[in-house]
Amino acid sequence: MNHKVKKVLNVTLTYCILILVSAIFVFPCLWLILASFSKTGSIYSFNGFFPSEYSFDSFVTLFTDTNMYNYPKWLLNTFVIALFSCLFSTILLILTAYTISRFEFKARRHLMKGALVLGMFPSFMSMTILYILMTQFKMINNLWGLILIYSCTAPMGYLVQKGFFDTIPISIYEAASIDGASNLRIFRTITLPLAKPMIVYTALTSFTWPWSDFVLPTLLLKDKDCYTVAVGLMSLGETEFSRFAAGSVFVAVPIVVLYFLLIRNMVSGMTSGAVKG
Amino acid sequence: MARVRLENVCKVYGSGSRSVKAVTDFSLDIRDKEFIVFVGPSGCGKSTTLRMIAGLESITSGNLFIGDRYCNDLEPKDRNIAMVFQNYALYPHLSVYENLAYPLRCHHMSKEDIESRVKEASDILGIRDYLGRKPKELSGGQRQRVALGRAIVRHPDAFLLDEPLSNLDAKLRVQMRAEISRLHQKLGTTFIYVTHDQTEAMTMGDRIVVMKDGVIQQVDSPSNLYDHPCNVFVATFLGSPQMNILEGKITKEEGKTRFVSLGEKPFSFAMNPLQLGHLGEEDFPLDVKLGIRPSDVLLGCEEEETLFRSTVELVERLGDQTLVYFYAPGRKDYSIASTSGEKRYSVGEKIQVGIKKEKAHFFNGKTDVSLSDVKPVTYLSKEKVHYLDGKQKGKLADRLIDASLAPLVPSALIQIPSSAIRFEKTDEDDVAIQVVCDCSKDYSDRIAVYAHVKDSNKGISFSSEKDRKPGEEITLYVPLSQVDLVDPKTMEKITDTEKLSSKCHPGVLSFRKQGCFLEAKDEIENHEKAYTLVRLNPLGKKDLLVLKGVKTGEVLYYSVDSSDLLYVSMNVFFRKRCKTVRK
Amino acid sequence: MPRFINKGSEKVKEDCTSFADFLSISNWKVRLSFLFMGLGQLFFRQWVKGIVYVLIEAFFLWFMIACGGRFLVGLITLGTTVADPWTNTGGDNSVIFLLMGVFTVFVILIFLALYIDNVKDCQRTYLSTIKGRKPNTFKEDLANLAGRDFPKLALFVPLLGVLIFSVIPIVMMILIAFTNYGGTIVPPALVDWNGFGNFKTIFTAKGVGASFGKILGWNFLWAFLSTFLNYFLGLGLALLINKKCVKFKSLFRVFPVLAYAIPGFITMIAFRFMLSLGGPINYYLTGGFQNNKAIVDFLGRDSKWSARLIGLAVNAWLSVPTTMLLATGILSNINGDLYEAADIDGASKPKQFFDITLPYVLFATTPTLISQFIGNFNNFGIFYFLRGGLYSDGYFLASDSDLLINWLYNLSINNNYYSIGAAISLMIFLITSTISLIVYVRSPSYRKEDTYR
């Protein structure tokens, strides 16, 4: 009997803790959603966690009141940046990771060590200089400055992709080269199809990054109309809390959806990626 | 024509003093339509050689010809060969049809051609039914067939197979073995097959190349390798269960040759001296290893035939045969006898062991080389018989490596390579030797004849096409250029087959990243830059290098300190500045 | 000088430079290439390649004569003339000088690399000619580029991008750490080198130095605490969810991932609002703002420790999902047979946890622990959002909960103390890189990289 009681206690306790933990994680998100439906903008008018009145107003003003805070423009800016940097980053990253994984060339070890050392510098160091560089090239307030920087610094994070390419057995490439395929043909017909899950992963991560990055855009985008969503939302003051909540919710929903797609894709990618024969 | 020829192929990894020789001096002539198997333990270089033929590894030195085309620098796709990998290496994202069609698409064939070839290959292999499936939906055997199909569609000059059956279970392996042999017969193309399994090698190959540590041990047909292994390694590698090797001595008492085993209770038996090729008086007593296959060991002999008594330690019953383990004198580990499955033995039973003496193999105890084969070289002493006349003697003396060796000439032995023995006189300077044949041994493709020199008891062995009767007298002829003088004390050559004497210079070798550099003290201004090492003669502590200029073909001779890093056909550069190097 | 490597009793000589060997197996054509790029190739009748190389060197020489030399000088002097608004003469912008100087140095390095490549290529051609083969035509070289030399082609653009946007900025910042750029000394004023002056400033006890010590100490404490808190909380959560008795496993895993998926700055700002003076928490504490005395200033000026603790808690909220996912992945890799064998041997559940699960998980996650430590060490966002812009007493332009990286931000971006900021960055780099390198080099994933390849 004792044993059974213990077991029941155990299970109940486990579930209690889990529910509590889940609640802790969900709660702030719920609060934000609630806040976005508040009628008034200021946080002081809330009854604790709950708005005093509910309405869709915040969402409406978000898109219509574009004088001070041009939310639709921010969305567009961020989308453009995300799209192009996703495109370029994926190309550069896949190419780099594939080359380093598959080919043995003299500078390979040195390149890998160099990338390792470079990655240890706090990313902040380069920010000031990038600001000066961009000023020199007159790329301040230009979306392409951000796209360029995101794309060109992407290959530094090649390790994940390289780890994936390392799992493709070399004998497949050897068989293809004996079959008569040139390097470019091998890349096109064999590597790319096999790397689909990794390409999706890379594309998704490089697409979502500009939406949440705030450091670089703050530096390089000074004009209010050029803001990205991150910078824009940060510029909202305390009185515009519900607007902030609305804007955040609006942008967070697709990102969360993308993340879940990512995880599911990753999982399926891993199992089918067991390339044995 | 798909004749594959390898000449002095070497593979060296790393450079300079940190190099590793994976394959050393591999020379082989693979005939068209032949099924040749490279077999050996792991790390012996067989896969490396196959990959060099395929073009997946670069050839450090030596020449590769596929169908008379020089292929060293050709890309794999230009060599018209097909390869089947151990892990099949099928393209996982393509269907079976697309896998088979891939090589044809790479060569831009028309759609109809692709379809017909794929159909043809899938019919031969019986994979028509799953052309639409993906590799992960197939079993191991089916995947292997698709891999074979991908090779067949190309109609290549040669098929290269790298341990294709290693990933299959035992039963499937036997089945696929037969299929591959059938395929070879049907297609009639050259097959080059690599395996570590000696059963596969013995059953499938026309000829087998046994390799160890990057060096070819023996190239021969399966039956020759089984019946006449040339050293202990080949003898114990082929044949299952392994050949029993017992250590002992061969003594000659009162004209009778006996084998005496080592051990606390040695056994001995009289033997036919002709089984040993020919040995001189001074050779006895000789340390030898006796090799006897488990199937040639007799248990339960009569008293006269019994060599020693032993106890059964372990019995393994395999159904059709029973393996009996026992201890024999001269061997620390178990010895194995295999008998028919009907006889029963129990552990602890006393047995009387004998052997089939005519099936015994003898190997030199120190060098592990078989004594019962045509000896590659024969040494003739000039005491009893005069082989050379004055003119020939003079020519030989001209070829002394160093003039200081002249005093050794009178007592020097004459070295004759058996491969140089001819039956007709082709040149005025040929050395003539009168021999009387003693016996002959039949190999499947040649006959080994054992004879002794007339009026002497010096043995000589050679290969002959015709069978020779015992007592038959023949004259053998050896070209003088192939004859050498050997110092009896050190057994080193004191002449070389080309005129050397004053032309051999000392030099110092150094190995760098760019290659091998030779520093010589004398005038080398007129030398070319790059030379190829044509021949390497080990002379004790020094090596004699014969260098041939790449452009002009000028031949130079240098002697350097012995080094393991040298291999035939490597490139040697001359340094302009000479430094004295401390060694 | 030749080096002698002792191999037992035998001494094998190995030259440090193979330059002597190179000279001894080259001929006049190769040496021409040594003098001027491309000449050797031209004499080998490799027209297109030779002309390309010649053009590269010509372009480089033009660049150096026209502006390169000036830039290099500028790198050293960092400008000499000050802009004079009275006479309307433009002055030297020191920072631009630094930039162009660094740029020139890299151009020189790239040129040197191409130069060495040119000479090596010539020597290779020469060696193949003395072996009897013809020099490559341009077509063959291009074919090689797509074949054997594919890495060169594929990595050219990524390397260039990384060079311009990652390497040059970092090099410049390192250099700026040795100047006095910042504060009042900004263009159009002239910036000058001042050696280790900035480092001295950081390490002296007064003013900036005092802050440095305090912030550094807190930074380490923070990194340790947050890493271990996140790690064990994540591990605990993963274990809890993994228990056999729990159904709806994936549902329980969804909620943390939800928290992780929302962009960080949103949730951090939300927390700041939650804990603000007029926010919901204070609303409940004061009963709807009736009792204003009970307001707790969580993140205010004087709330040093509450701010720090709140930082830890919020960071845990943000990072535990990651560690939980990681631990889940690793736990699923543990061989179930181990537990069955332990059951047969008679081990109790807690004992199994401590002897089987914990060592395995610790072993498998050690490398990520390091990267998490570094990540937490440099966690900019958490205190920027929770308590941004607050300056405490006794700290120079920082608050008492700021990390080094927040301090860096305040100094550089907000107050233009670039050189000191750069010096601090260097310090951060030295600390984090030393830790990483020591652990990474010891880890099996580095040593055995080739065996998994």
Domain count for chain B, please give it: 4
Which residues of chain C are within 8 Å of residue A12 when distances are taken between CB atoms? none
Residues C79-101 have a mean pLDDT of: 70
Q: Answer yes or no: do C298 and C185 share one domain.
A: no
Please report which helix (H) or strand (E) contains residue B509, including its range. strand B504-511
Q: Does C13 contact B at CB distance below 8 Å? A: yes
To the nearest whole Å, the CA of C335 is away from the closest chain B CA by 24
Tell me: the pLDDT tens digits for A135-149? 777 878 888 888 999
Mutate to test the interface with B, among A170, A178, A191 (most CBs of B within 10 A): A178
User: Is pLDDT above 90 for C90?
Assistant: no
* Cα separations in angstroms, C406 against B322, C175, C378: 81, 21, 9
Does residue C32 sit within a domain? Answer: yes
Note whether B50 and B160 are within 8 A (CB): yes
**Residues B70, B152 within the same domain:** yes
Disruptive mutation site among C94, C116, C162, C424 for chain A (greatest number of A CBs within 10 Å): C162
Say if residue C140 is in the same domain as residue C251.
no
**Confidence (pLDDT) at A137:** 77
Chain A residue with minimum CA distance to B162: A171
- Average pLDDT of chain B is 84
What is the enclosing helix (H) or strand (E) of C260?
A: helix C249-261
Q: Which residues of A149-158 are buried (b: 16+ CB within 10 A; e: fewer)?
A: bbbbbbbbbb
Domain shared by C170 and C242, yes or no: no
The tens digit of pLDDT for each residue in C21-56 reads 666 666 777 777 777 877 777 877 788 888 888 888
Lateral strand order in the sheet of B459-464: B459-464, B447-453, B431-442, B473-478
Task: Give the C-alpha separation, B46 to B40, whole Å.
Answer: 7
B209: β partners? B38, B219
Q: Span A12-28, mean pLDDT?
A: 87
- Does any CB of chain A come closer than 8 Å to the CB of residue C28? no
Mean pLDDT of C278-287: 75
**B-side interface with A, Cβ within 8 Å?**
54-56, 75-77, 81-83, 85-93, 102-103, 106-107, 135-136, 140, 143, 150, 154
**CA closest to C157 among chain A residues:** A92
Instruction: Name the domain boundary from C130, C164, C195.
Output: C195
Residue B580 resides in a domain: no
- Reply yes or no on whether the pLDDT at C443 is more than 70: no
Among residues C166, C195, C224, the one where a domain terminates is C195
Same domain? C224 vs C253: yes
In a domain, C390, yes or no: yes
Residues C269 and C177 in one domain: no
Q: Do C130 and B583 touch (CB under 8 A)?
A: no
Do both C77 and C174 map to the same domain?
A: yes
B66 lies in the same domain as B210: yes
Percent of chain A beyond pLDDT 90?
14
Q: Which residues in chain B are closer than 8 Å to A174, comparing Cβ atoms?
A: 56, 76, 83, 85, 89
Instruction: Tell me, yes or no, whether B181 and B44 share the same domain.
Output: yes
- DSSP letters spanning B374-392: --SEEEE-TTTS----HHH
Q: Do B514 and C20 touch (CB under 8 A)?
A: no
Is it the case that residue B25 has pLDDT exceeding 60? Answer: yes
Q: Is B488 among the domain residues? A: yes
Section A194-208 average pLDDT: 87
Q: What is the pLDDT of residue B476?
A: 86
What secondary structure does DSSP assign to B194-227, as a single string? EES-HHHHHHH-SEEEEEETTEEEEEE-HHHHHH
Domain boundary among C139, C162, C195: C195
pLDDT at B386 over 90: no
Within a domain: C111:
yes
Partnered with residue B286 across adjacent β-strands are B250
Which one of B510, B530, B551 has the shortest CB-CB distance to C13?
B510
ipTM metric: 0.81
Confidence of residue A272 (pLDDT cuts 50, 70, 90): very low
Whether residue C262 sits in one domain with residue C189: no
Q: Is C50 in the same domain as C162?
A: yes
Confidence (pLDDT) at C31: 74
Q: Compute the average pLDDT of residues C435-445.
A: 72
Domain end: B464, B493, B522, which one?
A: B493
Q: State residue B182's pLDDT score.
A: 92
Confidence label for A274 from pLDDT (cuts 50, 70 and 90): very low
Amino acid identity, position A105: F
Other chains touching A, judged by 3 or more CB pairs under 8 Å: B, C
Is residue C209 located within the same domain as residue C79? no
Decide: residue C428, CB within 10 A, 0-12 exposed, 13-18 middle, 19+ buried: buried
Answer yes or no: is B516 within a domain.
yes
* Cis amide leading into B285 (omega within 30): yes
Would you call C265 an interface residue with chain A, using a CB distance cutoff of 8 Å? yes
Does residue B372 form part of some domain?
no
Q: What is the CA radius of gyration of chain C?
A: 31
Number of domains into which chain C is organized: 2
Q: Tell me what the pLDDT averaged over chain A comes to.
A: 82
Q: Is the pLDDT of residue B580 over 80?
A: no
Residue B454, in any domain of the structure = yes
**Is 80 exceeded by the pLDDT of residue C389?**
no
In a domain, C10, yes or no: no
- Is residue C20 in some structural domain? no
Please say if the pLDDT value at position C429 is more than 90. Answer: no
CB atoms B56 and A178 under 8 Å:
yes
Instruction: Provide the CATH number for the domain around residue C234.
Output: 1.10.3720.10
Q: What is the residue range of C305's domain? A: 205-452
State the fold for domain A70-235.
MetI-like fold (1.10.3720)
Which domain covers residue B515, as residue numbers? 501-574
The predicted pLDDT at position C322 comes to 85
Note the pLDDT of residue A26: 86
Does the pLDDT of residue B501 top 60, yes or no? no
Summarised one tens digit per residue, pLDDT across range B282-292 is 667 888 899 99
Which chain B residues have a beta carbon less than 8 Å from that of C26?
none
Res C82: pLDDT: 65
Specify the CATH number for the domain of residue B339: 2.40.50.140
pLDDT for B441 beyond 70: yes
- Beta carbons of B92 and A194 less than 8 Å apart: yes
Domain end position, chosen among B197, B218, B235: B235
Residues 6+ apart with CB under 8 A from C52: C38
Residue A214: pLDDT band (50, 70, 90) is confident
pLDDT of C6 over the 50 cut = no
B458 bridge partner residues? none
Q: What is the residue-wise DSSP string for C382-441?
A: HHHHHHTT---TTSSS--TT--HHHHHHIIIIIT--HHHHHHHHHHHHHHHHHHHHHHHH
Q: CA nearest B2: which of B184, B204, B210?
A: B184
Of A147-151, B25-29, B36-40, B565-569, which range is least confident?
B565-569
Name which of B89, B103, B154 is nearest A171 (Cβ-Cβ): B89
Q: What is the pTM of this model?
A: 0.80
Q: Which residues, other chains included, contact B257 with Cβ-Cβ below 8 Å and sequence gap of 6+?
A: B250, B251, B270, B271, B272, B273, B276
| pLDDT at C358 exceeding the cut of 60 | yes
* Confidence band of A73 (pLDDT split at 50, 70, 90): confident
Residue B583 lies in a domain: no
The residue among B202 and C213 whose pLDDT is bigger is B202
Q: Mind listing the pLDDT tens digit for each residue in C308-334?
A: 888 899 899 988 988 888 888 888 877
pLDDT of B499 above 60: no
Q: What percent of chain B has pLDDT over 90?
A: 30
Using an 8 Å CB-CB cutoff, list chain A residues near C266: 32, 233, 248, 251-252
Instruction: List, for residues B86-117, the tens digit of each pLDDT value.
Output: 988 999 999 999 999 999 999 999 999 999 99
Q: Does the distance separating the beta carbons of C20 and B551 come in below 8 Å? A: no
Which of C97, C142, C265 to mutate to test binding with chain A, by most A CBs within 10 Å of its CB? C265
Q: What's the confidence (pLDDT) of residue B164?
A: 93
Task: Say whether both B257 and B348 belong to one domain.
Answer: yes
CA distance A126 to chain C (A): 5
Confidence of residue C18 (pLDDT cuts 50, 70, 90): low
Residue B258 lies in a domain: yes
Test A26 with C262 for CB contact under 8 angstroms.
Answer: no
Q: Rounded to a whole number, what is the distance in Å from the CA of B210 to chain C's nearest CA?
A: 29
Mutate to test the interface with B, among C130, C131, C133 (most CBs of B within 10 A): C130
Q: Is residue C155 part of a domain?
A: yes
> pLDDT class for B579, splitting at 50, 70, 90?
very low
Average pLDDT over residues A4-30: 87
| Residues of chain A found within 8 Å of residue C179, distances taken between Cβ atoms | none
Quick one: B20 and B139 in the same domain?
yes
Let me know whether C110 and C162 are in one domain.
Answer: yes
Domain boundary residue among B198, B214, B235? B235
What was the pLDDT predicted at C211? 80
Q: How far is B193 from chain A (nearest CA, A)?
A: 16
Q: Cβ distance B229 to B370 under 8 Å?
A: yes
Is C7 part of any domain?
no
> Average pLDDT of chain C?
78
Lowest mean pLDDT among B171-185, B338-352, C229-243, C427-441: C427-441
**For residue B581, which residues of chain C lie inside 8 Å, CB to CB?**
13
Please name the member of A128, A183, A219 whose beta carbon is closest to the beta carbon of C418: A128
Is there a single domain that holds both residue C410 and residue C274? yes
What pLDDT is stored for residue B16 in this prediction?
Answer: 67
Provide the pLDDT for residue C188: 64
* Residues B218, B206 share a domain: yes
Task: Please check the confidence at residue B578 and state whether its pLDDT lies above 50.
Answer: no
**More confident: C297 or B250:** B250
**H-run or E-run covering B174:** helix B170-187
Distance between first and last Cα of chain A: 54
Residue A186's closest chain C neighbor by CA?
C147
* Position B539 pLDDT exceeds 70: no
Q: Annotate B240-260 with DSSP letters as a single string.
A: SSPPEEEEEEEEEETTEEEEE
